[in-house]
Amino acid sequence: MTGMATSLTTTTRDEDSLLLVDVTDAAAADRSGRVSVATVSSGIPPEARGALEAVLMVVEEPVEEIALASALELPVDQVRSLLVAVAAEYDAEARGFQLRNVAGGWRIFSRVEYAGVVERFVLDGQTAKLTQAALETLAIVAYRQPVSRSRVGAVRGVNVDAVMRTLVTRGLVEEAGNDPETGAILYRTTQYFLQRIGLSSVDELPALAPYLPEGDVLDDLVSGSNL
């Protein structure tokens, strides 16, 4: 039927699962390979796809189907069918990411075609200069480590939560246990930090005596803040 859009519903059986795929303009779909997975039946609740994608967005390693099934409270076969359908849709729509089955599990990866863009983004982020606030916070951590965020904030006189997250993301600061008295997370500088400033140990940091109050005075200031 020339010049007319047609609607075709195809059914495919995958073991015990039935995938209903709605394709609008079948001729165009054949040319582009783009299809939209409308419904995965066999008792799979409609919100299962959203829940599945939410879990896949936070995992750092491929997650097994049985673990996903446990989280979604669905049979493994249904979860497998849903994974296959979602992966196929991502591929058909040429998304910037893809759902792949690797190392016995499933995980979302950026698509290989955009590896160059991702690499530039990551490298630019790693080489971007730190703000003055970040440099000041990093210096406090370096000279008073291990130290909690609240104590760093007491020295700077401002909230440092966002800055500390930036330093951790950049690999300059890392967690170093908990304060035995307060239970607060302690932070210290990393080996990467030492590499960046050309030192082999924090003991090689230049002395601050000419620029700061005596150590006991600074301790009293921090202690006086009850942080």
Q: Where do the domains of the chain lie?
A: 7-111, 129-224
- Residue 6: what pLDDT? 38
Topology of 129-224 in CATH? Arc Repressor Mutant, subunit A (1.10.10)
Same topology between domain 7-111 and domain 129-224? yes
Q: What is the pLDDT along the chain (227 residues), one digit of tens a residue?
A: 444 433 333 333 343 333 333 333 333 333 344 434 444 455 788 899 999 999 999 887 889 999 999 999 999 999 999 999 999 999 999 999 999 998 889 999 999 899 888 877 766 666 667 889 999 999 999 999 999 999 999 988 898 988 998 898 888 999 998 988 888 899 999 998 988 888 888 888 888 656 555 555 556 655 554 44
Q: How far apart are alpha carbons 158 and 216 in whole angstroms?
A: 22
Give ∠ CA 70-75-78 in degrees, rounded to 5: 115
Phi, psi of 208 (to 5 degrees): -105, 5
Provide the pLDDT for residue 92: 94
Cβ neighbours around 22 below 10 Å, total: 13
Topology, domain 7-111: Arc Repressor Mutant, subunit A (1.10.10)
